[in-house]
Amino acid sequence: MSKLENIKSKTVWSALSLFFQSGYSAFLGLVANLVLTILLSPKTFGIYITLLSTISFLNYFSDIGLAASLIQKKEITDDDVKSTFTFQQILIITLIIIGFIFGKSIKNFYQLPLEGLYLYYALLISFFISSLKTIPSIFLERKIKYQKIVFVQVIESTVFYIAVIVFALMGFGLKSFIYSVLLRAITGLVIIYSISPWIPKIGISKKHLKQLLSFGIPFQASSFLALFKDDLVILFLGKVVGFEGVGYIGWAKKWAEAPIRIVMDNVTKVLFPVISRLQEDKNKVGQVIEKIFYYQTAVLAPVMLIAFFIMPKLVLLIPRYTKWVPALPYFYIFVISTFLVIYSSPLINVFNALGKVKLSFNFMLAWTVMIWILTPTLTKLFGYYGFPLAHLAISLTFFVVVLVTKRNIPFQFFRPIKNLIISVIPMVLVLLFVNYLAITSLILSIVTSVLSSTLIYFIFIRYIFNINPVKEIKYLFDIK
């Protein structure tokens, strides 16, 4: 088997494994979210989201891009690995100490209950435990063996979601998250070391560290800007619109992004090491980009359109779920903006895999400035609608990323997705017609909407545009 064929094989298995993990986690997450959003108030849910964003903030300082440097680098040495691990742990322990010192200040700032403070401490501890998994995970990512990483994530998800459901049903409230995040972190640590054994070594080689940081610092700077653009905005909203507002916005954003978390995020994870291995052949990189756009559009366009139409019915169908009706307008905005992201986010990852981290940084800087100008302004003008509208405005800049990429990599943007986008149009008409029928049974209306719109989509792609889904799946990621 040639090197390219070996990469293809690993890519397919890794992608399929990640899709399985996402689907499995999404199912568990769906059940958990239903239980939690039924049993817990929007305020309690908002506290969890806010504190999670706080830990995400610390995570972006955890290795200054060293992990990505090890994955992107063609060959790595023991000194590279040892230096990365040691430097990362120094950073993480420092951050955790700072986190604990400012714990009470955060509690007072957000007026958290005592259990909220304990959850914050638990997230800090799990943050440290999870950091110990970095090196074993990097070894697997370099080999494009995501199926093994997926196995660990599946076990982690199972432990977390089952635990949080059980504890919530037992009436533990916020404590449900405290126990669950710790169980997840410890379980993942034990399993990853059993699959990818590695004995931690302490020491720093200045020469190797400097080489790794030359890529890692610009890479992490872009990641930090992404944090500043997304998670810190949530912290800002937690203070400005209150936890109830964050609960509604977080609910809408979480559900709107669910499809791309399953599809795009998994493709992007595999895309980074794959492009890193093919970076010298720009034509093949361009072919990979076209196929990524093609398959993502084929799956996400119909899925997100159906979600747009049936979410109001699902909210009314699920017992005690009508409290989320006020969040539906934000959900609609996030669905549109999230779909546009699938045409920019993978390209940012391509820049990183090609070593063009400064280009990624420039885009992230522009988007960060936009979000922090638009969010406060639009929130002041439109209240809860401010952040969703700011998110939409940034998503509309996807075409700029496409144009810049075309200057560096030869690929077609419209050609791979044109017929798929056209095939979605009749779906809109079918879904509007089903809504017009005003079927009294919500279940029947949902089933009719999904089946009829999916059928018309299949008819168009198969018989109008002669796209054979079975054949397409068979040749997935074939870049000959």
Q: pLDDT tens digits, residue range 82-95?
A: 888 888 888 889 88
Q: Is the pLDDT of residue 289 over 70?
A: yes
Of the candidates 144, 155, 228, the one whose C-alpha atom is nearest the C-alpha of residue 191 is 155
Give yes or no for a contact between 243 and 111, defined as CB atoms under 8 angstroms apart. Answer: no
Q: What mean pLDDT comes out for the span 49-53?
A: 70
How much is the pLDDT for 183?
92
- Which domain covers residue 267, as residue numbers? 241-480
**Do residues 215 and 65 make contact, with C-beta atoms less than 8 angstroms apart?**
yes
pLDDT digits (tens, 9 = 90+) for 114-132: 888 888 898 889 889 988 8
Mean pLDDT of 47-71: 65
Which one is predicted more confidently, 48 or 103? Answer: 103
In a domain, 412, yes or no: yes
One-letter amino acid at 53 equals: S
In a domain, 94, yes or no: no
Alpha carbon distance 411, 467 (integer Å): 20
> Given this model, what pLDDT does residue 374 score?
92
pLDDT of residue 66: 65
pLDDT for 42 beyond 90: no
Give the mean pLDDT of 164-184.
Answer: 85
Distance CA 468, CA 461 (A): 8
Residue 382 belongs to some domain of the structure: yes
Whether 251 is covered by a domain: the verdict is: yes
Q: How confident is the model at residue 26 (pLDDT cuts 50, 70, 90)?
A: low
Asked if residues 228 and 261 have their Cβ atoms less than 8 Å apart, the reply is no
Residue 330, domain member (yes or no):
yes
86 domain residue, yes or no = no
- Maximum average pLDDT range among 61-65, 349-353, 470-474: 349-353
Q: By the 8 A CB rule, do 339 and 392 touch?
A: no
Residue of 236, 220, 453, 254 whose CA lies nearest to 335: 254
pLDDT attached to residue 15: 60
Side-chain half-sphere CA neighbours of 173 within 13 A: 12
Q: For residues 46 and 250, is the Cβ–Cβ distance under 8 A?
A: yes
Measured CA to CA, the distance from residue 382 to residue 376 in angstroms comes to 10
Q: What is the pLDDT of residue 337?
A: 94
Dihedral angle computed from the Cα positions of residues 402, 406, 411 and 414, in that order, rounded to the nearest 10 degrees:
40
Rg (CA), the chain: 23
Helix (H) or strand (E) holding 50: helix 42-59
Cβ neighbors of 159 (< 8 A, separation 6 or more) are: 180, 183, 184, 187
Q: Is residue 190 part of a domain?
A: no
Lowest mean pLDDT segment, chosen from 147-151, 213-217, 326-330: 213-217
Q: For all residues of the chain together, what is the average pLDDT?
A: 81
Number of separate domains in the chain: 1
Nearest to 65 by CA among 270, 277, 218: 218
Distance CA 103, CA 51 (A): 11
**pLDDT at residue 336, rounded to an integer:** 94
Confidence of residue 206 (pLDDT cuts 50, 70, 90): confident
Please give the helix or strand (H or E) that residue 94 lies within, else none. helix 78-101
d(CA 363, CA 360): 5
Cα separation, 477 vs 11, whole angstroms: 8
Least confident of 244-253, 264-273, 287-296: 264-273
Distance CA 24, CA 28 (A): 6
* Closest by CA position to 153, among listed 128, 184, 126, 175: 184
Share of the chain above pLDDT 90, in %: 21
- DSSP E strand boundaries for 217-310: none
What distance in Å separates the CA atoms of residue 15 and residue 263, rounded to the nearest whole number?
9
Question: 48-52, 219-223, 394-398, 475-479: which range is least confident on average?
Answer: 475-479
User: Residue 280 above 90 pLDDT?
Assistant: no
Q: State pTM to two decimals.
A: 0.68
- Establish if 69 belongs to a structural domain: no
Least confident of 39-53, 77-91, 121-135: 39-53
Residue 479 binned pLDDT confidence (cut-offs 50, 70, 90): very low
